[in-house]
Structure 1
Amino acid sequence: MKVRRQCKAEVHFGEEYMKSEKGGAIVIGGSGGLGSAIVRRLAQDWAYLDLTFRRNATAAAGLSEELSDKCSIASHQLDIGDENRLEEVLQAAHKRSGALRTIIFSSGMHIPQVYVSRLQAEEWHEAVQTELMGFIALVRYALPILRETGGSIVNVGSVAPHRFVIGDALSSVPKAGTEALCRAVAKEEGRYGVRVNTVAPGIMRVGIGGQLMETIYSSEIWENSRRNTPLQRFGDGEDIAGAVAFLCSSEAGFITGQTLIADGGLSL
């Protein structure tokens, strides 16, 4: 069945793809709450779309089934710490699409809210390895492909480095590192036509943000945060997916090294 669905999509789109963006895109961490919203949005623009999952094969399979009539889609199991597998997945997406044009990094982990003074070395190590070193490895293996295709990277970061919340150092410190790397790569690789940008979500109702709402703090504290947000609401997956879709599209062809904060005005 999977082969028939893929062939059907490829025949339907043909050589011209019938999409606004040429080539393919891949979402690293595309099976999660936020990642899946990004995948659904990109399926509207890209003829070839790949996504990765770490453990939730069921969610990835369901998403692929849902979108199989909109684009040629494939999912891959990936632990971001496995660099050999990471390179293999990127090359597979590049070969399948004929030209991998954009890579979205939406991989993350549940971050405990702990004071810096109480954090242990192993907690720092896990956060840095997943949030920062994973992105560093992705950039290293992505650049040869993106130099060839003149493509882009969109890093899904966080508003945390811009509006620090007590207890959130495990999130803000590594994500500040990914933003800095985006600026460095944008500066160095622009001569090859490679663009790199960050989308920084605020408080989200989906994915890890939604988990935090259920596990820490009281409903009164969350409600106070909502009231202090100028738009008077928390973010949905579609809010971030739209920003990502713009930054990896040809319409953002002159934008690089930037951080687009999508937080409803919370950081003002």
Structure 2
Amino acid sequence: MTETGTSTQPVFVTGGTGGLGRAICTGMAQRGHPVFFTYRSNADAAQALADELGGPGMAQCAQADTTDAGSITAAVAAATAWKGAPHSAIFASGAHIAQPFVSQITETDWQGVLNIELMGLTRFVSAILPGFRAAGHGNFVCITSIATVSYPPGDALSAVPKAGMEMLMRAIAREEGRYGIRANCVAPGLMDSGLGAEFIRDLYTPDIWETQRKRIALRRFGSADELADVVAFLAGDESRYVTGQTIYADGGFRL
């Protein structure tokens, strides 16, 4: 094993106060990374998380909206001023998404979710990439979904933007690898926390939820901490020869 000392390098996480984002921030901080994360609206929850992660020396946060390029750019500038250019940039933002069938989706519906997720990721990439190039290294990790390969009817508003997000990460991996930049995705399956879990529990009866659990090879839902472990692997030097990949953290749901 090669030790390159990246355990103390700063990381940047969008959507840090969400169920999955919070676990990612916690996991990275536990591994010694200073964490700069964004939140959309709940400043009190964000500050509480920053304090929990170790206070000003280990965690900082800023309000940012993925639909607003200026707020993303300002947050990245604040992170860079704090600890230098991030070593890894993790996109964990998402939207509360309804599940209509394609025939029921309006243009406004498409524009809304694409603006938050796919276009939000492009804004994030544009803000982060110059610092990665200047440093001669950097890692993008993007949270997507197994719905891009195991599509449940009614999930187009979630799956379609995330398919585009995965393609963007592949494009970055191919074009920016020469600059020492990697880009990968983590596609969670059925989780016990996060936006997807909240929505599915509201949408489906306990019997349907139990049927879905039995489809998973490991016969249980994934935890946010388990997803965070995969993210930490992709953000660290243990995965230094891995790029352009989507890792399916689904407990064998697709098998």
| TM-score, normalised by the number of residues in structure 1 | 0.90
Q: Report the aligned-residue RMSD.
A: 1.4
Matches within 5 A, 1:70-219: 72-149=58-135, 150-219=137-206
Q: Is the 8 A contact 2:69 2:123 kept in 1?
A: yes
Letter in 2 for 1:225: Q
Q: Deviations over 1:15-66 (max 9, x none)?
A: xxxx752421011000111100000000022442101000121221111111
Structure 1 stretch 230-239 or stretch 57-66: which is displaced more?
57-66
Instruction: For 1:171 and 1:125, locate their aligned partners in 2 and report how far apart those are by CA, in whole Å.
Output: 12
Q: Which residue number in structure 1 is paired with residue 228 of structure 2? A: 241
Partner of 2:11: 25
Measured after TM superposition, the shift of residue 184 of structure 1 is 0.5
Structure 1 residue ranges without an equivalent (≥5): 1-18
Poorly superposed stretches of 4+, deviation over 4 Å:
none
Would the aligned equivalents of 2:66 and 2:117 in 1 still touch at CA under 8 Å?
Answer: no
Specify whether residues 72 and 223 from structure 1 end up closer, same or farther in structure 2 by C-alpha distance, changes over 3 A only: same
Percent identical pairs in the alignment equals 41
The offset of 1:192, in angstroms, is 0.2
* 1:125-150 superposed Cα distances (whole Å, 9 cap, x missing partner): 11111110000111112110111221
Once the 2 structures are TM-superposed, how far is the Cα of residue 69 of structure 1 from its aligned partner? 5.9
Worse-matched range after superposition: 209-218 or 174-183:
209-218
Kept in 2, the 8 Å contact 1:61–1:75? The answer is yes
In the TM superposition, what is the alpha-carbon distance from 1:235 to its structure 2 partner? Answer: 1.1
Residues in 2 aligned to 1:59 and 1:232: alpha-carbon distance in whole angstroms:
33
Which structure 2 residue ranges, 5 or more long, are not aligned? none
- SS for the counterpart of 2:122 is helix
Report Cα offsets for 1:105-135 as digits up to 9, x if no partner.
Answer: 0000111111000111111111111110000
Change (3 A) 1:70 1:247: farther
1:228 counterpart (197, 210, 215): 215
Q: AA paired with 1:172?
A: A
Rounded to whole Å, the distance in 2 between the matches of 1:127 and 1:135 is 12
The CA distance in 2 between the partners of 1:98 and 1:127, in whole Å, is 32
For residue 32 of structure 1, what is the amino acid of its counterpart? G
What does the per-residue CA deviation read over 1:186-207, in whole Å, with 9 as the maximum and x for residues that have no partner?
0000000000000000111111
Q: Is the Cα contact below 8 Å between 1:161 and 1:175 reproduced in 2?
A: yes
